[in-house]
Structure 1
Amino acid sequence: MNSPADRRNRTVIGRVVTGTGDFAGDWMAAGAGKVVVPLPAHRGPGPVVAARAAAGAREGGAAGVWVASFDVGRADESVGQSVLDAEQLWTLACQDSADTAPLLVAGNLLGCVLSRPGYALVAGTSAFVRGAVPEGVDGARARFRRYAERLRHSMPELIRVADRFPPEHHAWATIA
């Protein structure tokens, strides 16, 4: 992805996300096994989501984060690139699109953050996810499940997301 054509919004998004909004199978299979972790984002993507993308990219060895717009009118434009500063990344993401949350992709394509209404999906290699989700995969997935349960009536789709990404190991709060 070194040529300008390789860094167009449509190209970057097409490498990582399918037309239905799922992560592309080829991208998920490339490199070391990638994992997906849902995170609460009730008010939509924000500085915390940007900070997670920057931390994941830093841990994953990327030089920066690409901000790829889903806006059809900007499909042939180059992605916006940020250094690993979370505040600068969030500013760039806000400028990128007022109506659709952008896809935040590590410059080395080893991880990304995809925002959806009410949540965000962090996906990537173990190094990217370790930086973006310092509380751990299972802890974050369990926290997301509790979030989804609290909002089950106003946002029922969150339960389906929590069901797709359950914790692999459960930690019990109390001994039975």
Structure 2
Amino acid sequence: MTDLSGASSWGFTGDWLSDGPKLIVPVPAGSRVDASLVRRVIEGCRATGTDGVLALTGGPGGPDGPGACGRNRRTVSPDRAVAALAGIGPPALLASSDRQGAVLFSGPGSALVAGTPRFLGGAVPEGVDGGRARFARYARTVAHRWPELRSLARSLPPRHLAWSRARDVPAGTGAARQLELMRGFIAGSVNAPHFARGWQTARRTSHDNGERLREPLLTAFDQVFSLLEDYSVDLDLKDADDLSDQELVDAVREIMEYSEGF
């Protein structure tokens, strides 16, 4: 997972990144591992169903003391990870024991979260592109203290622009599939259960891809999501106040007619 030839060269290996494949998201950090970094790997473990956090620490500034070159390796349960790992210095690698993802803290100011889409879904709930965009803003803010972070942000840019209009959404994306289903639904070529299932699946795809929306399309999609929260595909589970198929299609049509995102 990492090159352990020296603390200064710790990093994710190409073989590990290509197995999945895995993506990298830079995140803000302080001078030592804090609870927020540990929680990222904990949530990644929960998302993948992993019951252990593997911690590899050591080297300059690590628990072995300044100038030490030893390595400490241990596995802790997720519910004990914050107490056991918060406060350690760089370099440090915190990984899910199944190797699906990891947080690499090589120095003050930033850390790298890498993993499969499933791991990142828990570790980076803001999404890959959301996390990268957030880090770019952070890097500009702290440039006076850690100027090198701006180069890191440029090396890991968002993969997608944040789309504000339906016409801007590229074909083949999760968001494009959501739009396709909405158009088919109000045109009558897609029935309500198929729309509800397909739209939620496409929403998860969009999130896993790190796709980002902004106003006014963001609000329109949030409104559709809220509608589906009040709609049941399973007739046996439908409550009296749940939306009917007709009420759902009418509401989606109204969103598309009155939102500036379409």
Q: TM-score, normalised by structure 1?
A: 0.78
Q: How much does 1:60 deviate?
A: 2.0
**Residue of structure 2 in register with 1:90 after alignment:** 82
Mapping of residues 110-149 of structure 1, within 5 Å: 110-115=100-105, 116-149=107-140
Letter of the aligned partner of 1:22 in structure 2? G
Q: Aligned runs of 1:17-166 on 2, under 5 Å?
A: 17=3, 19=5, 20-30=9-19, 32-71=20-59, 74-75=70-71, 79-85=73-79, 88-94=80-86, 97=88, 99-115=89-105, 116-166=107-157
Change (3 A) 1:101 1:46: farther
Give 2:202's aligned residue.
none
Q: Return the alpha-carbon distance in structure 2 between the equivalents of residues 142 and 111 of structure 1.
A: 20
Supply the AA of the counterpart residue of 2:151: R
**Distance (whole Å) between structure 1 residues aligned to residue 143 and residue 161 of structure 2:** 21
Q: Counting helix residues as a fraction of each chain, which structure ranks higher? A: 2
Relative to structure 1, the CA distance from residue 43 to residue 74 in structure 2 (aligned partners, 3 Å threshold; closer, same or farther) is closer
**In structure 1, distance between residues paired with 2:98 and 2:12:** 16
Equivalent residue of 1:22, what SS? Answer: coil
Aligned in 2, Cα 1:153/1:159: closer, same or farther, shift over 3 Å? same
Q: Distance in 2 between matches of 1:64 and 1:74?
A: 23
Matched with 2:204 is none
2:37 partner amino acid: V
Is the Cα contact below 8 Å between 1:113 and 1:120 reproduced in 2?
Answer: yes
Structure 1 position 43, deviation (Å): 4.8
Aligned residues: 154
1:3 is matched with none
Distance 1:151 1:17, change over 3 A: same
Which residue identity lines up with residue 16 of structure 1 in the other structure? T
Which portions of structure 1, spanning 4 or more consecutive aligned residues, are displaced by more than 3 angstroms? 71-74, 172-175
Mapped to 2, the partners of 1:70 and 1:62 lie a distance apart of 24
- Give the superposition deviation at 1:18: 5.6
Q: For 1:43 and 1:102, locate their aligned partners in 2 and report how far apart those are by CA, in whole Å.
A: 12
Structure 2 unaligned spans of 5+ = 60-67, 165-213, 217-262
Q: After alignment, is 150-159 or 16-25 more displaced?
A: 16-25
Any idea what SS the aligned residue of 2:153 has? helix
> Secondary structure of the equivalent of 2:151?
helix
- Give me the CA root mean square deviation: 2.2
Q: Distance in 1 between matches of 2:76 and 2:54?
A: 6
Contact 1:70 1:103 in 2 (8 A): no
**Structure with bigger RCO (C-alpha 8 Å, 6+ apart):** 1
Deviations 1:47-85 (A, max 9, x none): 01101110011212322111111335543x5x2211122
Identity %: 36
Uncovered stretches (5+) of structure 1, i.e. residues with no partner: 1-14
Query: Aligned AA for 2:159?
Result: E
